[in-house]
Amino acid sequence: MKMNKYVKEFLHRGLMFSGFGPIVAGIISLFEPMPIKNGKTIFVAILSTYLLAFIHAGSSVFNTVEKWSPSKTAFIHLGTLYVSYLLCYLINSWIPFDIKVVGIFTAIFTVGYFAIWLPVYFSVKSASKKMNIKLKS
């Protein structure tokens, strides 16, 4: 079975950076002590942040899929990150499972996502335009 090049790259990127997840969990526990009830709580925090970092890093491959439009790429990336973060936060009880809280999380996450990615998109678009002008002259 031949593996799709994007799947390979997703796995490669995810494995390269997934180790940062448990480091983030440790930093969070320094500033906001986790409700450590037993070893299971620690294990779940380490595993979930590892998976979160794996998915976060791996999902950057979506930006390299040339047949996808920028809007399709953005919404698939946004959806992947949103589900990953929401599940991680809920599993670790970093936010309560309450529809109002999830709604607030969703709003903040979405605004934050576009606040980061819109300037990146427009700066890359501007740089590409300048490069194309130089190449044509």
The pLDDT of residue 1 is above 60 = no
pLDDT of residue 66: 85
pLDDT of residue 50: 92
Range of the domain at 82: 5-136
Task: Give CA–CA dist 43/51, Å, rounded.
Answer: 12
CB 93 within 8 A of CB 58: no
Output the CA–CA distances (angstroms, integers) from residue 35 to 16, 65, 93, 125, in the order listed.
29, 41, 8, 45
Q: Quick one: average pLDDT of 84-107? A: 95
**Number of domains the chain contains:** 1
List, for residues 36-76, the tens digit of each pLDDT value. Answer: 667 788 888 889 999 999 999 999 899 888 888 888 999 99
pLDDT of residue 37: 66
